[in-house]
Structure 1
Amino acid sequence: MGGIVIVGAGECGARAAFALREKGYDGSITLIGAEPHLPYERPPLSKEGLKEQVQPKYIAEAERYAASGIEVLTDSPVKAIDRVAKRVELFDGGSIAYDRLLLTTGARARTIPGTEGASRRARTLRTQADAEEIRRELLPGRRLAIIGGGFIGLELAATARRLGVEVVLIEGLPRILSRGVSAEIASVVAERHRAEGVDLRCDTKFDRIDVDERGVRILFANGQSIDADFLVVGIGASPNTELAEAAGLIVDNGIAVDATLRTSDPDIFAAGDCCSYPLCHYGDRRVRLEAWRNAQDQGTLVAGNLLGADEAITSVPWFWSDQYDLTLQIAGLADGAVTTVRRDLADGAFILFHLDDAGRLLAASGIGPGNAVARDIRLAEMLIAAGKRPDPRALVSPETKLKALLAA
């Protein structure tokens, strides 16, 4: 008989493996990864991890896996899942039996046709290898073009400017951070990037990108063009669902799972960036989240469910981004909000609270230096989880403690 096999050696898979041991599981655990590294943190790849010589920030060292009895297979891409025989087949010809299988296959960066693999001058930023290649290009006086005004592109722009690199960032939509971030906060971020010297161009669409070993040229419909030494494409990510689809599992904007993270096969679970699940705080709408904390939360939860706990996920979505000295934090999902009120804090920080037509708090988003908004965003997260309908006037007033609203 097999034990528990985890396909996908990232944050979620590693967290699940250790959580299984913490919950008392004493059977075999095999963690399989396609990359040559042990599981590592991805958030630093666009932030502090690029400032110096790029080294993986490992989730745990090899000795800890060994001490916990977790077998880690690196550089071992999985070819197929045989659900009948309950085996995972590797590209090297080997196979591993399982009693329960967990898919934490993550996501991959979206690309632009004509740039993928065209040259070292054009890359995406998703893996340790990507970060290492990009860091070699981040030299003072060089020019970086970034396509995409989301978190990855903006974090990379901030890091590049700190290293003395010229940056032009192109966003096709009218503003940056269009997905899940209010226009008011996006405006603060945009102003800061421009103040730091980023050439930020929104509502700008390109016709063609030419890439060769000399550099990059981006051509626009009006006949203008931009030349750069290298290009990074940051236009989001797509879930890695190919294994699941080939195995006949249901896929719906990711590997479809129920509230316990179980797939359409009762012996296979999925968690992290690769799966979509019903979110209880928002009418069980199906969502797929690409977030560090979500990977951790689901890794811990699914470990218990692999052992029969049958616990539903109830955590509130949470995101963060560091750019220059600013930290942006968001709790919840603001879709469906009809009212937004603002609470001003010290040092120019502020939080926006987003409420639905019944007055229920759906989300809170804040920005400020350092940890200026962290405590209030954490309390807002708790208010969302509790389904609270706080008085908007109380949310606006800095004198009103959010902790008091939670107790009300």
Structure 2
Amino acid sequence: MSQNEAMVIVGAGHAGGRAALTLREAGYAGRIVLIGDEAHLPYERPPLSKALLKGESSLQTCSLFSEASFIASGIEHLSGVRVLNIDPAQHRVDLDSGVSLGYTKLLLATGGQSRRLDLGGRDFTNVHYLRTFDEAITLQERLQPGSRLLVAGGGFIGLEVASTARDKGCEVTVLEAGARLAARALPERLSEALLTLHRRMGVSIHLSAQIERFHGADRVESVQLASGERLACDVLLVGIGMQPNLQLAQQAGLAIGSGIKVDNFLQTSAPDIFAAGDVCEFQRDDGQFHRQETWRNAEAQGRLAALNMLGQRQAFSTVPGFWSDHYEFGLQTVGTLAPNAQVIERELADAGFLLLYLDAQARLQGASGWGIGNSLAKDIKLCERLIESRLVLPLEQLPDTSVSLKALLRGAHV
């Protein structure tokens, strides 16, 4: 079965949904088909581990748009559908429903799935992962006051859920295989701030922890560590990273690395096929390929991919960044936190701080910080502008908070 050609988007998450909307907003009047294996309209993922898990948010408030506005846009949403095959030569995608769709341009926003923990081939009913709305709702029901939550993985998902679970009155233990928390994404000082805060809030954290055995029949009743310690649990959450969905790209013969490789315009190695979001691997200024699993990246690349599908040829140059909330504190980063950069610290009020990453010419490359609530937002935004400006900064003034970042942006050496 064949149908009329269309702008086809595979993946109805944040990047895919934003791309579909942008096509319409940019004036494209033709057929747009958005294909997703979930039943829901596109939604944002950050609330899943926080407001939604607490019951303070809903699918409607997480959605990129209302059902009424989506219907009005005329975008076709094929929900609960999987793409089986892509034929770049024929410009066609084959669906598990038996339908084949021709495309003029195709966007792959296939995202990823949670990395699975090796459970020794067993299937326990109280082991949870958190990437989708449905998984969040199921986990929400399990996190009752007094529940013993064991978190495998000391990254952002695990720690955000730990924070939410403590707010809900759960007993929480976090197991991290590495020597510090969120080590792949954060500098040591931020890892230490996270560790101190979570322990102060009553979370038991085990670093360099290796799981040796799971005890229980249908449910994990306890976990035994390589140290011999045995930890009881009612709920086990696994947060050990994300695996990008590359199967379709591989089958179609597209260039891949840790993600689907694209050029500066988010176009893949095949004509008329683009990629965006968590699955997209793009080239940075240093020539290295990189993926970003962030809200900011999904938003920016979804928009840009749509415009380039319409022939605008806009290069992707957005400064990377992300945030994460824990109890009353938040951390934020922007730019590149290069391990060989010169790092200068600015101490802020209420135990907050800002770390500035500079290159050999004293130009800002990245920044990361810690503060109450959203108190860092203004500084991080100014840091982003400093990164884009490529100004040479006065090193001796950077630790001095009496010298504002805004003054530095103006080039005022006071």
1:231 lines up with 2:236 in the alignment: yes
Q: Which amino acid aligns with 2:165?
A: A
Q: Give the equivalent residue in structure 1 for 2:82.
A: 77
Name which of structure 1's ranges 121-130 and 397-406 shifts more when overlaid on structure 2: 397-406
**Cα distance, 1:271 vs. partner?**
0.4
Shift of 1:168: 0.4
Choose the corresponding residue for 1:111, options 113, 116, 131: 116
Identify the residue that residue 270 of structure 2 maps to in structure 1: 265
2:135 to 114, 118, 130: 130
Pairs within 5 Å for 1:282-361: 283-361=286-364
For residues 235 and 328 of structure 1, the distance between their equivalents in structure 2, rounded to whole angstroms, comes to 20
Between stretches 346-355 and 240-249, larger displacement belongs to 346-355
The within-5 A match list for 1:201-280 is 201-210=206-215, 212-280=217-285
- Give the partner amino acid of 1:28: R
Equivalence for 2:6: 3
Q: Secondary structure at the match of 1:215?
A: coil
1:60 corresponds, among 56, 65, 71, to 65
**Which residue matches 1:177?**
182
SS in 1 for 2:89: coil
Is 1:387 aligned to 2:390, yes or no?
Answer: yes
Answer yes or no: is 1:197 the counterpart of 2:205.
no
Most deviating of 145-154 and 199-208: 199-208
How far apart are residue 54 of structure 1 and its match?
Answer: 6.8
Aligned length: 406
Cα distance change of structure 1 residues 202 and 4 upon mapping to structure 2, 3 Å threshold: same
Whether contact under 8 Å (1:121, 1:211) holds in the other structure is no
State the Cα deviation string for residues 315-339 of structure 1 (Å, max 9, x = none).
Answer: 1111100110101000012124332
Answer yes or no: is the 8 Å Cα contact 1:8–1:34 preserved in 2. yes
Label 1:375 to 1:204 Cα distance change in 2 as closer, same or farther (>3 A): same
Amino acid at match of 1:302: A
CA distance in 2, matches of 1:211, 1:304: 53
- Residues 345/148 of structure 1: CA separation in 2 closer, same or farther (3 Å cut): same
Partners of 1:216 and 1:309 lie apart in 2 by 56
Q: 1:397 is matched by which residue type in structure 2?
A: D
Counterpart of 1:369 in structure 2 is 372
Q: How far is 1:120 from its partner?
A: 2.5
Of 241-250 and 56-65, deviating more is 56-65
Amino acid at match of 1:2: E
Matches of 1:405 and 1:337, distance apart in 2: 23
Q: Which amino acid aligns with 2:258?
A: N
1:229 CA displacement: 0.7
Per the alignment, in what secondary structure is the counterpart of residue 342 of structure 1? strand
Query: Are the structure 2 counterparts of residues 285 and 387 from structure 1 closer, same or farther at C-alpha, using a change threshold of 3 Å?
Result: farther
Percent identical among aligned pairs is 42
Per mean C-alpha deviation after superposition, the further-off stretch among 300-309 and 47-56 is 47-56
> Which residue is equivalent to 1:97?
102
Contact 2:177 2:207 in 1 (8 A): yes
How far 1:88 moved relative to its partner?
1.2
| 3-state secondary structure, aligned to 2:346 | strand
For the residue of structure 1 that corresponds to 2:221, the secondary structure is strand
Query: Which moves more between the two structures, 317-326 or 328-337?
Result: 328-337
Query: Mean alpha-carbon deviation: is it higher for 37-46 or for 385-394?
Result: 385-394
**Pair 1:18 & 2:21 matched:** yes
What residue in structure 2 maps to residue 159 of structure 1?
164
Bigger CA drift: 62-71 or 252-261? 62-71
Distance 1:115 1:385, change over 3 A: farther
8 Å contact 2:214–2:220 — kept in the other structure? Answer: no
Secondary structure at 1:347 match in 2: coil
Specify whether residues 116 and 91 from structure 1 end up closer, same or farther in structure 2 by C-alpha distance, changes over 3 A only: farther
| Deviation for aligned residue 1:116 | 8.1
Report the 3-state secondary structure (helix = DSSP H, G, I; strand = E; otherwise coil) of the residue aligned with 2:243: strand
Conserved 8 A contact 2:112-2:278: yes
Query: Residues of 1 paired with 2:355 and 2:122: CA distance?
Result: 41
Q: CA RMSD in A?
A: 1.6
Letter in 2 for 1:331: V
The amino acid across from 2:320 in the alignment is P
Q: Which amino acid aligns with 1:383?
A: L
Supply the AA of the counterpart residue of 1:313: F
User: One-letter code of the match for 1:45?
Assistant: L
Comparing 152-161 with 337-346, which one deviates more in the overlay?
337-346
Structure 2: 5+ residue stretches without partners: none
The residue aligned with 2:30 is 27
Query: Would the alpha carbon gap of residues 211 and 31 (structure 1) be closer, same or farther in structure 2, given more than 3 Å must change?
Result: farther
Equivalent position SS for 1:35: coil
More displaced 10-residue stretch of structure 1: 355-364 or 299-308: 355-364
For residues 111 and 379 of structure 1, do their structure 2 counterparts lie closer, same or farther at Cα, with a shift above 3 Å needed? Answer: same
CA distance in 1 between counterparts of 2:16 and 2:97 reads: 21
Q: Answer whether contact 2:88 2:271 (CA < 8 A) is retained.
A: no
